[in-house]
Structure 1
Amino acid sequence: MEELLGRIITGKVTDENEQDYFVQVNGTTFRLDKAEIKKPLKMGANFKGFAYENEGHDLQITRNAPAVQVDHYGMGTVVRSQRTLGVFVNIGLPNKDIVVSLDDLPDIMELWPQQGDRLMIALREDAKHRLWGVLADGEIYQAIAQPAKKHMQNANVVATAYQLKLVGTRVMTDHFELGFIHPSEREREPRLGEELKARVIGVHEDGTLNLSLRPRTYEAIDDDAAMLLAALQHSADGKLDFSDKSDPAAIKAYFGISKGQFKRAIGHLLKDRQITQHDGALWLNNSEATTDDPAK
């Protein structure tokens, strides 16, 4: 069979049954679901559509061609993974998902795309006439990229990881700007194809972005303050034996944050008058005071 799969082809309608028409292309017959066709087709009529092999291993042709084709890149959504094979990607066909081989995926399986992640792929037909997904490389992303604007500094963006390297993660935003996330600007390494909520920390002259997955300072303070407030609320007497003079190692061991973060969280709660600080301890305002509370 000549190279027909994964492409838009034209053939002749040669037969039909209750459910399907049959379209022949150079001696190869494809099934065409009648549910797609609003007006009946005549025998001998030409039909143009996308050719593929469905999950039942039947050759099929559809007028609803996906964006992803041989030599045509488009986005697909990961639906599942198989350790010994790779990940299965939905490109819009009703009865066929496309496999991206494990050979093209990160060596660390935890960095493989998960269900719902998105990959930009094209199709490749192998010698056995099987269709595989081919990941877009950096040149493809460069070709479709749009330059970022200077006013994007400090803006929030949504981006998808498309290249994982030791030096950092390369991403493309939903508006097609290219971005880079240095390892110091993330808590963990993103998965391939993962959608990320990031903020712009730099706009280069070439129109690319530096991004961070870390919260802004005031957002980090809010998170740490909320954690500290919850700890006070769950303490027996609305008191914690910590203060801005406490040992950094003790703070890190108990709260999991640095002393600097701890002091900023205290300052935030003091400013909001949710706590007080005296006698080497933190006190929850409006709490049930104990006899150990000198303010009682």
Structure 2
Amino acid sequence: MAAGMTLTMTVARKTEIGYFLSDGKDEVFLHANEAHERLHIDDEVEVFLYHDHENRLAATMDMPHVGMGEYGWLEVVDISPRMGVFLDNGINKDLLLFIDDLPKHSDEWPRPKDQMLVALKQDKLGRLLAKPVTENEIVKIAAMADESMKNKSVEGTVYKVIQAGAFLLTEDEHILFIHRDEMVGRLRLGQTVRCRISFVREDGRLNGSMKERKEVQYGEDADKLLRYLINRDGAMPYTDSTEADVIREKFQMSKSSFKRALGKLMKERRVEQVDGWTKIIQSEQEE
């Protein structure tokens, strides 16, 4: 017998606090709190085996959301900075997703209420742990997308984070990639977001963006710059020559987005650049 197994066992003995179950060879304890009803000697029960809080092999009549050899979405219920994150697998003891299987940056870790796509594994002592579903397993369940999905809005949950961006599985089980430049804030494992499909690849995967279409974003960014200028009495020491890291820190937008927004305002004759400053054109305001 081992943790992660689902077995039909027979009640061999009763105690004040529970039952000893037998598979004909070995026995395991089923606490009364883990039984769904009052049991009697020779009753047959279906149980799931796990290690309890004292690391003893034990039985429960509660069935896990994800069993050995299966995978599924489990909710994050707690976080331990030293150990990892704990997931609700439908039984009394939460399932640990170990720190080694999580991103190095803690701000990319899942948070409580997030959903993680995982399977089960055993550590060296036979205890159950969660493990992220592999890319091969994702590919097996993923659906092929077609061109009709372009520009549609979809919801997806992050299952993998890399330096270039994040991979998500959509509600219709399409694989979707969001590049970091197309994010609104850094994404984390287990996070569910809504985004727009920007490209449908030949292999049936999707590229997505959390940003508005460019023509919409230009207007929003331009309004943001204009509000900033107004709050600074109509002038700011930032132009299209300002360093990209300064732009990102001050306005939370890329250098290219800043230049497009600034270009829009200049084309509309609402601002001008003078001696390293961007200024609202006062004559327009006075009119």
TM-score (norm 2): 0.76
- Once the two structures are superposed, residues 213-272 of structure 1 have per-residue CA deviations (whole angstroms, 9 ceiling, x without a partner) of 22223542464366457558867xxx7358xxx95458x86973624214547999x9xx
- Residue in 1 aligned with 2:261? 261
**Could you tell me how far apart the structure 1 residues matched to 2:107 and 2:206 are?**
26
Is 1:27–2:17 an aligned residue pair? no
Aligned pair in 2 of structure 1 residues 131, 265: CA closer, same or farther (>3 Å)?
farther
- Residue in 2 aligned with 1:280? 282
Aligned-residue identity in percent: 25
Instruction: Report the aligned-residue RMSD.
Output: 3.4
Q: Per the alignment, in what secondary structure is the counterpart of residue 143 of structure 1?
A: helix
**Could you tell me how far apart the structure 2 residues matched to 1:247 and 1:111 are?**
33
Q: Per the alignment, in what secondary structure is the counterpart of residue 261 of structure 1?
A: helix
**Could you tell me how far apart the structure 2 residues matched to 1:58 and 1:108 are?**
33
Preserved CA contact (<8 Å) 2:235 2:280: no
1:150 aligned residue (122, 141, 147): 147
Preserved CA contact (<8 Å) 1:49 1:63: yes
**Could you tell me how far apart the structure 1 residues matched to 2:230 and 2:138 are?**
50
**Could you tell me how far apart the structure 2 residues matched to 1:219 and 1:279 are?**
24
Is 1:113–2:85 an aligned residue pair? no
Preserved CA contact (<8 Å) 1:66 1:92: yes
1:77 aligned residue (67, 75, 78): 75
Q: Per the alignment, in what secondary structure is the counterpart of residue 154 of structure 1?
A: coil
- Residue in 2 aligned with 1:102? 99
- Residue in 1 aligned with 2:203? 206
1:11 aligned residue (3, 9, 12): 9
Aligned pair in 2 of structure 1 residues 37, 234: CA closer, same or farther (>3 Å)?
same
- 1:207 Cα deviation from its structure 2 partner: 1.9
- 1:8 Cα deviation from its structure 2 partner: 0.8
Aligned pair in 2 of structure 1 residues 133, 23: CA closer, same or farther (>3 Å)?
same
**Could you tell me how far apart the structure 2 residues matched to 1:279 and 1:261 are?**
16
Aligned pair in 2 of structure 1 residues 133, 278: CA closer, same or farther (>3 Å)?
closer
Preserved CA contact (<8 Å) 2:19 2:31: yes
- 1:21 Cα deviation from its structure 2 partner: 4.0
Q: Per the alignment, in what secondary structure is the counterpart of residue 217 of structure 2?
A: helix
Q: Per the alignment, in what secondary structure is the counterpart of residue 207 of structure 1?
A: coil
- Residue in 2 aligned with 1:290? none
- 1:42 Cα deviation from its structure 2 partner: 2.8
- Once the two structures are superposed, residues 39-69 of structure 1 have per-residue CA deviations (whole angstroms, 9 ceiling, x without a partner) of x433111111211123354544333312322
- Residue in 1 aligned with 2:221? 224
**Could you tell me how far apart the structure 2 residues matched to 1:46 and 1:30 are?**
14
- Residue in 1 aligned with 2:131? 134
Q: How many residues align?
A: 268
1:66 aligned residue (54, 64, 67): 64
Preserved CA contact (<8 Å) 1:31 1:59: no
Preserved CA contact (<8 Å) 1:21 1:34: no
2:46 aligned residue (28, 45, 48): 48
Consecutive unaligned residues of structure 1, counting only runs of 5 or more, are 271-276, 284-293
Is 1:215–2:212 an aligned residue pair? yes
Paired residue type of 1:240: G
- 1:140 Cα deviation from its structure 2 partner: 0.7
